[in-house]
Structure 1
Amino acid sequence: MTEIQLQALGLSNSHLVAYHGSQVHAGILTELKSLNMAAKSAGFEFTIASAHRDFHRQKAIWNAKYSGQRPILNSHNQAVDITQLSSEEIVESIMLFSALPGASRHHFGTDLDIYAKNCLASGASLQLEPWEYQAGGPFYEFSCWLEDNLARYGFYKPYDQFRGGVAIEPWHISHVEFANNMSRNLDIAVIADVISKYDVLGKDTIIGNLNELYQRFVINVASTNLPK
């Protein structure tokens, strides 16, 4: 595999640099700093909850959910009883909120889960749930500001709404240019190859249904058209 494919799969960190305690793609650093400064000027303490996550970390999350050691939540944030589900249904239920190892945008270093730390009430814990970014939630004004300003810094929200695959994630932002470059270096064959080589639970089901899963959950994101 090429180096950029290994990066996109979460198997190489050669593209990453440190930023505020997280690891991000070196190519996005300048615009990320500008976005952070703009948010600060608007009164928001731009804070990263999660940035780069490698293949092995994603695999650990996946396996914990598939085996029932970690809860799988439905669209109403209620735990799913996996004992009543087929392997195919377990895979699809996990992918509502957690990507396949090797197919997570968090491997890229271009995608971040963010919030405004100063908008979180004293003693409250970050949940990263949609209601926090909706009207009445602590990050609603921040989310509105992001909607108006992300594009000018080269970012967008890939999961701005539910499209039948991944659930809405108003906290998830992505750098258009570098994320798209990473995505172009991943395809079904590359993802199938890496999953087949590691102890990913449910791998036979995943590989057998990967074409549909890829179309529904991996590339089914918002348009990346930015203003000229």
Structure 2
Amino acid sequence: MHQLVKNILFGLTDAHVILEPVSGQLMHPEALTAFDQLRRDARAAGFDPKVVSGFRDFERQRAIWNAKACGVRPVFDCNGDVLDVARMSPEEIVFAILRWSALPGGSRHHWGTDFDVIDAGAVASDYRVQLTPEEVVDEGVFGPFHCWLDERIAAGKSYGLFRPYAEDRGGVAPERWHLSYAPRAREFQQLHSAEALQAQLQQCQADSELALADTVCGAIGEIYPRFVAVPETAYPLNMDRL
């Protein structure tokens, strides 16, 4: 595998992303083009989409992971209630974290194709975005925007964007706020693999600490299909025409 491609897959470079000027987030250029098209049509419909999280590199994802594994950040169960990690086994902690947070090296945000979006027009400028299910249900503060977007996606007018975590498949919790630019994301996913991710995590552990690395690597065969790979069936059927 070419070194640049490897670096992109695992969040080790930002050479493939550019600045989205309104939010200050970094995005893959094609994902940004798709988002600009989405924003144009959404504004005409009375919404104001804003990216609140775009590209995240390996080190940022590692910091999030370590903070949760060590109890500095809260870890939640499937209902959103805080867990007591001090009473949990390493395996239980790993799978609880994965429900809501990606492994470093296993996040789609590394590719710049994926981003989290809100309707900035629905809240005050000082509103603190949480990215919780309550915010994005139909009755939530961002619900009307996502209902409008669901209609666009169903009609095949989603600019190449789709929701990789639209439903609960027993892995990552549903994330209605998470959009992905399908053509490039699919290409990156096809280059990604459990073996390559495991090797990268082992290298990370040699260079700097990754909490629960041995547990993660020992369970990578279960982790990868549940929490990293998005099923082919989740991608739009008409990508060749995007």
Could you say which TM-score interval applies, normalised by the shorter chain? over 0.9
In the alignment, is the contact (CA less than 8 A) between 1:132 and 1:140 conserved in 2?
yes
Which has the larger displacement, 28-37 or 46-55?
Answer: 28-37
Aligned to 2:181: 175
Secondary structure at the counterpart of residue 116 of structure 2: strand
In the alignment, structure 1 residue 219 sits paired with structure 2 residue 229:
yes
In the alignment, structure 1 residue 161 sits paired with structure 2 residue 171:
no
Aligned to 2:15: 14
In the alignment, is the contact (CA less than 8 A) between 1:164 and 1:216 conserved in 2?
yes
Q: For 2:235 and 2:13, how far apart are their aligned partners in 1?
A: 25
Secondary structure at the counterpart of residue 101 of structure 1: coil
Alignment RMSD: 1.5
> Displacement of 1:123 after TM fit?
5.3
Aligned to 1:71: 74
> Displacement of 1:200 after TM fit?
1.0
In the alignment, structure 1 residue 188 sits paired with structure 2 residue 188:
no
Q: Find the partner of 1:106 among 102, 105, 109.
A: 109
Aligned to 1:146: 149
User: Could you list the per-position Cα deviations for residues 143-201 of structure 1 after superposition, in whole angstroms to 9, with x for gaps in the alignment?
Assistant: 11111224420000011111100001110000100111111111011101111112211
Which has the larger displacement, 65-74 or 55-64?
Answer: 65-74
In the alignment, is the contact (CA less than 8 A) between 1:82 and 1:90 conserved in 2?
yes
Please tell me the residue identity of whatever aligns with 2:191.
Answer: N
Unmatched 5+ stretches in structure 2: none
> Displacement of 1:212 after TM fit?
0.5
TM-score, length basis structure 2: 0.89
TM-score, length basis structure 1: 0.95
Please tell me the residue identity of whatever aligns with 2:100.
Answer: F
Please tell me the residue identity of whatever aligns with 1:41.
Answer: A
Identity of aligned residues (%): 36
Secondary structure at the counterpart of residue 159 of structure 1: coil
Unmatched 5+ stretches in structure 1: none
Q: Find the partner of 2:54 among 46, 51, 56.
A: 51
Q: For 2:18 and 2:196, how far apart are their aligned partners in 1?
A: 25
> Displacement of 1:202 after TM fit?
0.6
Which has the larger displacement, 60-69 or 2-11?
Answer: 2-11
> Displacement of 1:40 after TM fit?
1.0
In the alignment, is the contact (CA less than 8 A) between 2:74 and 2:83 conserved in 1?
yes
